[in-house]
C-alpha cells in the first residue's frame, strides 16, 4: 500500500522523451531504457508531478477540479493505481529521495 501522504516527484524529467499519438502518449525513459504507453489521465498525473512534488490527496483534489463530473471515488482509485504503476516502473520517487 502506498502512503497517501507521500510526496512524489519525477527525478530527472529531462530523461523522459514524449511522443503523442491520438489520445495516448508514448514515454521513453532514458534512465531505465523502458517505453511506456500512457492514457490521458496517467499523462496528466505525471505532468503534474513533473511540475512539482505532490501527494496522492492533492493530486486527487486537483484532478477532481480539472475533470468536473467524474466520479470522485473512481478518480481516486485511478490515481492510486497510476502512482503504484509509476513507482514500480521507476518513473516517480518519494520526494525525500531527491
CA neighbor of 14 nearest in space, from 1, 30, 26: 30
Q: Does 14 bind other proteins (CB under 8 A)?
A: no
Q: Taking the CA of residue 36 as centre, how many other CA atoms within 13 Å lie in the half-sphere pointing to its CB?
A: 22
> Shortest distance, CB of residue 5 to other proteins, whole angstroms?
33
Nearer to other proteins, 35 or 98 (CB): 35
- Coil, strand or helix: which one is 39? coil
Strand, coil or helix: 30: coil
Least Cα distance to 92 among 51, 37, 40 occurs for 51
Note whether 75 binds other proteins by CB under 8 A: no
Task: Quote the least distance from Cβ 43 to other proteins, whole Å.
Answer: 11
Q: Taking contact as CB under 8 A, which single stretch among the options 14-22, 43-51, 75-83, 89-97 is the one that binds other proteins?
A: 14-22
Using alpha carbons, select from 94, 64, 93 the residue that is nearest to residue 78.
64
Find the binder of other proteins among 12, 30, 51, 71 (CB under 8 A).
Answer: 30
Determine if 31 is a binding residue for other proteins (CB under 8 A).
no
Amino acid at each position: 500500500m502506498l502512503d497517501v501522504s507521500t510526496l512524489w516527484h519525477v527525478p530527472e524529467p529531462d530523461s523522459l522523451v514524449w511522443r503523442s499519438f491520438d489520445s495516448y502518449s508514448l514515454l521513453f525513459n532514458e534512465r531505465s531504457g523502458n517505453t511506456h504507453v500512457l492514457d490521458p489521465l496517467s499523462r496528466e498525473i505525471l505532468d503534474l508531478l513533473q511540475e512539482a512534488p505532490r501527494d496522492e490527496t492533492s493530486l486527487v483534489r486537483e484532478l477532481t477540479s480539472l475533470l468536473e463530473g467524474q466520479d470522485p471515488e473512481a478518480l481516486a482509485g485511478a490515481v492510486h493505481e497510476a502512482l503504484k504503476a509509476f513507482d514500480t516502473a521507476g518513473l516517480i520517487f518519494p520526494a525525500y529521495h531527491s
